A and B are shown apart, each in its own frame.
Chain A
Amino acid sequence: MPLFDDLAVSAVVFAIALAGMFVNRKNLVVLLMCIELMLLAVNTSFVAWSAWWGGLSGQVAVFFVLTVAAAEAAIGLALLVVVFRNKRSVDVDTIDTLKG
């Protein structure tokens, strides 16, 4: 059952990424990596379904997702730089001024 296996891989990767979002309490860069990982899982899932349906649209979607992911990564890194300039740190713990 290749479809099931593919989907299972995708789900596991996605779950790892999700866990990384809150287990990691240190580095903002890891958060960005987790986001990329989630999109990777999504792409795996798209390709698996596309193969199962025998159509191409799922695989085309992957290209869109990749493009958006690139833009997202660019903005994420840019924000990281801005945060670092302001706080002199990329610790998750240091950005808690806004609260309450």
Chain B
Amino acid sequence: MSLDDLVLGVLLLPLAAALIAGLGRNLVGRTGAHVLTILAVALAFLASALILRRVLADPRPHVFTFYTWMMSGGARFAVGAWIDRLSALMMVVVTFVSLAVHVYTIGYMHDDPGYARFFSYLSLFTFAMLLLVVANNLLELFAGWEGVGLVSYLLIGFWFERPSASRAAVKAFLLNRVGDLAFLLGMAVLFAAVHTLSFRAIFAAAPVLGRTPILGGSGGMTVATAAALLLFVGASAKSAQIPLHAWLPDSMEGPTPISALIHAATMVTAGIYLVARLSPLYVQSATALSVVLLIGALTAFFMGLLGIVATDIKRVIAYSTISQLGYMCAGLGAGAFAAGIFHLVTHAFFKALLFLGAGSVILAMHHEQDMRKMGGLRRFMPVTYITFLVGSFALVAFPGFSGFFSKDAIIDAVGRSPVAGASLAHLLLLGGVFVTALYTFRMVFLVFHGEPRMDEHTRAHLHESPLVVTLPLVALAIPALAAGWVMFRPLLGGSFFAGVFGRLPHGHPLGFVSRNPHLTPLAFVAGAFSEPSFWLMIAGIATAWYGYLYRPAFPARAAAAFHGLYRLFVQKYYVDVFYEVICARAGWLVGRGLSTGGDRLLIDGGLVNGSARLVGAMARRLRPVQNGRLYRYAFVMIAALVAVLGYALLT
């Protein structure tokens, strides 16, 4: 099969499955829905693997156009594909995680009345994400971008009868809307400068854009900076970076498979992918890179802190997701695009693993998510425990686990980056290591160790989850453990991403490893024990052990001692309050003013109802002309003829 056929297959199979399972759910039934969608996603995964094999043999980007969507004023908008090693790798990751989540959903959603609908959404989401990944122009990418946003909205609000779920869905939608607006503006800036949105043209024009002042002025911001910053605002909404992060913890109202697929492994990485994809543009703007770096580092540290006080198991993982996305952002901002994408890949595996593990726990606890009511679960759920532990070690970057390779590569690259603000970012990221270890092992200890704190009834029914749940856990634990060893050399050694990313004027985009091309994974692991990040991580684990196993009274005392700080964390830095009280209220007041003053009086009263009355009055006047009599009709025709003749002959 030719490459473009494969790409089309990867795109269309999940779409077709989603449509059939969604629209024809009465036709195919529950079993049909999951068989169909899983088959489609499995085939898409196989095809993605084939595509990756092809591009491994031939590193040049393969660019196709499937369909010219429209021509407008000389600009061509097409649906196509840009297949290089970056997009091929993303396709494999997306389809693999999606496949695992599809299988897992059979067990998790078993008793849900919206079973077929759920599978349809999952496949639809997979399609949108793949469209985003393979796009060869910004508009197509935006279509996928909006697609994942829409499905995310539908899935967060999947249990729409819960008010909190529909509120969370609306919140996610609104904050993403802010990002989408910036994204659109960024596209507009690029379109105005390049007159097309295809990546090829944008990359070719990037060096010029880096020197062209925006708005034709002299000095000030360049086109590249403006576009890169606007697009990053879009990216930061989707990837939950400060200050547009607030929707992600709330999105945990959705069913757990969704949290795993969308809010951990795939959709939230769309922003990271966007920046990496457009790296030739970003390297043209030092300002934009600094912003990306600092926003990422701030997010990595401060969002991690919130994980320490959260009590809902899924919220802890959600904050850790935000924090890890911050690490990826920081890597990109430092110019270490390969390290950022590497972390994206490893994170997709171990975070999906953690979420599915949490889901397994929640299932066993009869949908109880409060960690204070768990404890000692390791005896009842050995498989879940071990796989969860693997994911946790990967998350805290314990040497040898996948997260270690990518995260330490980012920290190191940021430490050596020439981008402004790198030293501050480096400190924040190092602090983040401690925080990560603390909240992760707090969670592990609270859930799996110590005395069981659940009620008798729940405790009596505790048991390991069924095979469809544990199988994906094991399947994800393997890459969470091993992916680092396999991918370290090619991804960071330089050859895999050769030519994919833009390069900084000073410094190497691939981070530090390529300076020492002979560095083996083993040597990297061995070297880690002398790095501060390792000891910070150990300190974090030790603190968690002290506070949650050895001296369980300690956290309460600490919270009392640092009362103000604790409240700040519990209130999530008052960001929600800010949005709700200031933004929402102000918007509401403005809206009410416009509604009574402008809308109801002027628009409704004057324009709408007024024009409707006018239309009605004119129509009533015209209507009697059509009186049904033939001679009237003939007369008007002949009168028209005479008028036309008169006009033609007299002028």
Contacts and interface: CB of A to CB of B under 8 A. Distances in A.
B631 A22 contact: yes
A22 B629 CA distance: 10
Given A96-B627, A99-B628, 16 more contacts: A18-B638, A18-B641, A21-B634, A21-B635, A22-B631, A22-B632, A25-B629, A25-B631, A31-B630, A92-B629, A92-B630, A95-B628, A97-B628, A99-B627, A99-B629, A100-B623
Contacts of A97: 628
B626 A21 contact: no
Interface in B416-450: none
B645 to A, nearest CB: 11
Nearest to B642: A18
A21 B638 CA distance: 9
Interface residues of B, number: 13
A22 B635 contact: yes
A99 B624 CA distance: 8
Contact of B628 (A21, A22, A31, A96): A96
A22 B638 contact: yes
Interface of A: 18, 21-25, 31, 92-93, 95-100
Contacts of A25: 629, 631
A69 to B, nearest CB: 19
B639 to A, nearest CB: 9
Nearest to A23: B631
Nearest to A26: B631
B297 to A, nearest CB: 73
A18 B637 CA distance: 10
Contact of B630 (A18, A23, A95, A100): A95
Contacts of B628: 95-100
A100 B629 contact: no
A85 B629 CA distance: 19
Most chain B Cβ neighbours within 10 Å, of A21, A31, A95: A21
Contact of A21 (B623, B624, B629, B631): B631
Contacts of A18: 638, 641
Contacts of A99: 626-629
Nearest to A92: B630
Contacts of B627: 96, 99
B618 to A, nearest CB: 15
Interface in B612-651: 623-624, 626-632, 634-635, 638, 641
A96 B624 CA distance: 12
Contacts of A100: 623-624, 626, 628
Contacts of A24: 631
Contact of B634 (A22, A95, A98): A22
Nearest to B636: A22
Contacts of B631: 21-25, 92
B648 to A, nearest CB: 16
17 contacts: A18-B638, A21-B634, A21-B638, A22-B631, A22-B632, A22-B634, A22-B638, A31-B630, A92-B631, A93-B629, A96-B628, A97-B628, A98-B628, A99-B626, A99-B629, A100-B623, A100-B628
Nearest to B632: A22
Contacts of A95: 628, 630
A100 B629 CA distance: 11
A95 B629 CA distance: 7
Which 4 A/B pairs are nearest by Cβ-Cβ distance?
A99-B628, A96-B628, A22-B635, A21-B634
A22 B634 CA distance: 6
A99 B627 CA distance: 5
A62 B631 CA distance: 29
A31 B631 CA distance: 10
A61 to B, nearest CB: 22
A21 B634 CA distance: 6
A3 B630 CA distance: 35
Contacts of A98: 628
A97 B630 CA distance: 11
B629 to A, nearest CB: 5
Contacts of B634: 21-22
Nearest to A99: B628
Contacts of A21: 631, 634-635, 638
B250 to A, nearest CB: 57
A92 B632 CA distance: 11
Contacts of B635: 21-22
A23 B628 CA distance: 16
B90 to A, nearest CB: 62
A21 B632 CA distance: 10
A98 B630 CA distance: 11
